[in-house]
Structure 1
Amino acid sequence: MRKRPGQNLLNGLPSEQPVGREGGRPPISHRKVLRVIWFVLATGCRWEDVPAEMGCSGRTAARRLRAWEALGVWARLHADLLGALKRAGRLDVDTVVVDGVTVRAFGGGEATGPSPVDRSRKGTKHTLMVDRRGVPLAIRAAGANASDHRQIIPLVLDYPKIGGEPGRPKELPDDLFADRGYDSEGTRDLLRWLGIEPHIAKRRTPHGSGLGKVRRVVERTISWLKGLRRMRVRYDRLLVVREAWATLAACVICYRLLHDELPAAG
């Protein structure tokens, strides 16, 4: 069976702490912690529901998930996977597509807001930027009631500078596609100022522009994201934890695309 991306992280993690001279219980191994993190991401279970037989409590795994996010572990893994996709000719860094998905946030927390569907419930909006093949380049979290068009510029500034080939990494994409929910002349002006040509559908105009054919890839990436059940709902109140989950989910999708476990777009 093919190894999951978390199993390739061990060399990039902090050194495991040995048992001290005075003895005591040895710390839980990174491998066991990663197994629990992957289990929670895939199944969507709460930390407190992690089976005891996994050899690591949900509390311990949650603590290390936050610590490794602070150390940039997940971001480095994502960058490495994007570099591998680029070397394999499976990354189109010139064109990006943007769209979002809102998930319910149980218990509220940072970067939450009233859901547009049911304002009595709080939610978090994930805005994704993918390449023309659907590879996730960046994901940002905001309250469910945040304006869509206000997410584009911060997301574009998260555009990854991907190495892996000779020459200076590309700083920003050339073209950006988004649906009419992101319609804003101010956003278009800012994108052009950055050197990016916006292809954003306008409200109150007939359909049939052909932009939907390009945007379809991000809808498929969102379905892959929701296939990781922890990304369907939000239990964690801290934004740093949600950001860790989002980056780790992007890593899983990149890994699967790299190893032909997901269908790649043209």
Structure 2
Amino acid sequence: MPAMPSSLLEPLWQQFAVLLPRRSEFDPAHPLGCHRRRVPDETVFRLVVEALVHGSGYERVAITGCSDWTIRNRVKHWSALGLAQELHRIALAAYDKMIGLGLSELSVDGCQTKAPCKGDQAGPSPVDRANQGLKRSTLVDSGGIPIGLVSAGANRHDSVLLGPTIDAARRQVGNLPADATVHLDSAYDGKPSRQVLGAQGLSGEIARRGAPAPIQVGKRWVVERTQSWMNGYGKIRRCFERDGRVVDFYLYLAAAFVTIRALIRRARNLYRWPHRPTARRLR
């Protein structure tokens, strides 16, 4: 069974292939003028998606003709180029063109996951007996489409990551509307968060500390749903990567899949195209 439905994997691969730098089939710097053929990028990309979905190590998804070191080196190269961020930016542009991003109502929240191997973006988790964990701060639009993501150690407070998360969203979609409202939970109820929102030219609807959540849940439930979508990917739910750029690569790759899945589900009722998925569950 494929790791991802072809209706999701194929369009993302086609866009990802356009972003890849041109490289010859053989290594021109080889001293004998010959070398083994380079493993095709499409083969490596599909194995990377398997690792993302299942959370498996590279040695478990490696196949004959593509070793785990080939996958690992290719991921490091792609993450250094920022290709996952650019892929996510393309997916957001497609969604905005066909459906439209709801940027007037935004939501931000953090989510803690496990990071057993420590690394650049890991830290002691205050909710997991100080075991190493990863915090993911996510900004979504009114429909729950992930726009900006920031990774940090699990011991970082949500309010500290609010500013970098908004900056990450601006890099992905451009300037946010001046009248946009950011919905936040009680963890952001403090002067630092309000100062960040004021400096960014945004207004905030922040839940008060001490009040029951169901009474003041507001419109931020969409970010909770998006966090659960992101946690559906094994590599995000339990991250063994140590390089911070590789961690961000997988975060934005998962966000691109979440965006494209939402785009297909919304667009199939509005548009017609060959091989349009009709089943409720994409496959």
Q: TM above 0.5, one fold?
A: yes
Which stretch of structure 1 is more off in the superposition, 81-90 or 243-252?
81-90
Task: Tell me the SS of whatever aligns to 1:16.
Answer: coil
Match of 2:186 among 164, 172, 180: 180
* 3-state SS of 1:237 partner: coil
Aligned to 1:216: 221
User: Offset of 1:247 from its aligned partner?
Assistant: 0.8
Match in the other structure for 2:271: none
Separation in structure 1 between the aligned mates of residue 255 and residue 156 of structure 2, nearest angstrom: 22
Please report how far the alpha carbon of residue 7 of structure 1 lies from its aligned counterpart in structure 2 after TM superposition: 4.2
Normalising by structure 2, we get a TM-score of: 0.83
Identical positions, percent: 29
2:23 equivalent among 16, 24, 27: 16
- Look up the match of 1:154: 164
Residue 132 (structure 2) pairs with residue 122 (structure 1): yes
CA distance in 1, matches of 2:199, 2:131: 38
1:91-113, CA deviations, whole angstroms, 9 ceiling, x for partnerless residues?
11222101111111112111211
Q: 1:90-105 residue pairs with structure 2 within 5 A?
A: 90-105=100-115
Residue 234 of structure 1 corresponds to: 239
Segments of 5+ residues of structure 1 without an aligned counterpart are: 164-168
CA distance in 1, matches of 2:78, 2:261: 22
Q: Matches of residues 170-209 of structure 1 in structure 2 within 5 Å?
A: 170-171=175-176, 174-207=180-213, 209=215
Q: What's the counterpart of residue 259 of structure 1?
A: 264
Gap regions ≥5 residues in structure 2: 1-5, 269-283
**Aligned-partner SS, 2:220:** helix
- How far the C-alpha of 1:89 sits from its partner, in A, is 2.6
The one-letter amino acid paired with 2:219 is V
Q: Is the 8 A contact 1:6 1:38 kept in 2?
A: no
Paired with 2:47 and 2:266, the residues of 1 have a C-alpha distance of 22
1:143 equivalent to 2:143? Answer: no
Number of corresponding residues: 257
Secondary structure of 1:234 counterpart: coil
Q: Quote the Cα distance in structure 1 between the aligned partners of 2:130 and 2:172.
A: 41
SS of aligned partner of 1:260: helix
Distance 2:63 2:212 in 1: 56
The reply on whether 1:34 has 2:45 as its aligned counterpart is yes
Q: Are the structure 2 counterparts of residues 202 and 262 from structure 1 closer, same or farther at C-alpha, using a change threshold of 3 Å?
A: farther
Residue pair 2:103, 2:176 contacting (<8 A) in 1 also: no
What is the one-letter code of the residue matched to 2:126?
P
